[in-house]
């Protein structure tokens, strides 16, 4: 089974107060630490499928954000040799067939840096998210739902309810 680094925790911590998370989850979020998680895990596979299913609608919204929405971000896989890491990118721009965004995480991979512009193909997007301020909720961020499957159920349910994450579909 392939192991990959997933950084969902960091973006969710930026978007919402980390006080709702369990101690281990909070610590990782505050430190922008990596969480190891297999992309072959059933919960992660389901998360990526959900993200792919809504990607076109997300990209339309990101291109022309509806009122009361912001913080549009995507998660892409960045590789360096045998190492793979999933990073969140914001400030999205389309450039012909490619997209670009600013890296929002502190990467473990040394070939990229936080704040750097990074170009990627639409097919490399494995997750997406934005904030709907009118509904006071995080939309998307499906890989966080996958990470929450490893948290105690009461913690996971509290986070889902508090932030409107729809992890049960």
Give the angle 24-125-88 at the CA atoms, nearest 5°.
40
What is the reported pLDDT for 166? 77
Tell me the C-alpha distance between 122 and 141, whole Å: 17
What is the reported pLDDT for 4? 46
What is the reported pLDDT for 65? 95
Low-confidence ranges of the chain (pLDDT < 50): 1-27, 29-30, 32
Question: In sequence order, what are the residues at sequence separation of 6 or more whose Cβ sits closer than 8 angstroms to the Cβ of residue 101?
Answer: 73, 74, 89, 90, 91, 92, 93, 117, 118, 120
pTM: 0.80
For residue 146 the two structure tokens come to 């996958």
What is the reported pLDDT for 7? 44
What is the reported pLDDT for 2? 47
What is the reported pLDDT for 34? 58
């Amino acid at each position: 089974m392939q192991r990959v680094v997933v950084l969902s925790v960091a973006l969710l911590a930026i978007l919402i107060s980390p006080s709702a998370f369990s101690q281990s989850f909070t610590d990782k979020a505050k430190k922008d630490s990596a969480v190891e998680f297999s992309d072959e895990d059933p919960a992660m596979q389901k998360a990526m499928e959900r993200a792919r299913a809504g990607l076109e609608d997300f990209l339309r919204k990101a291109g022309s954000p509806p009122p009361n929405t912001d913080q549009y971000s995507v998660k892409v896989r960045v590789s360096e040799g045998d190492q793979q890491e999933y990073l969140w990118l914001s400030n999205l721009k389309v450039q012909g067939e490619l997209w670009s965004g600013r890296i929002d995480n502190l990467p473990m991979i040394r070939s990229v840096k936080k704040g750097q512009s990074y170009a990627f193909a639409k097919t490399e997007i494995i997750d997406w998210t934005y904030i709907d301020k009118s509904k006071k909720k995080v939309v998307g961020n499906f890989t966080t739902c996958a990470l929450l499957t490893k948290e105690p159920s009461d913690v996971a349910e509290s986070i889902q309810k508090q932030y409107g994450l729809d992890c049960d579909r």
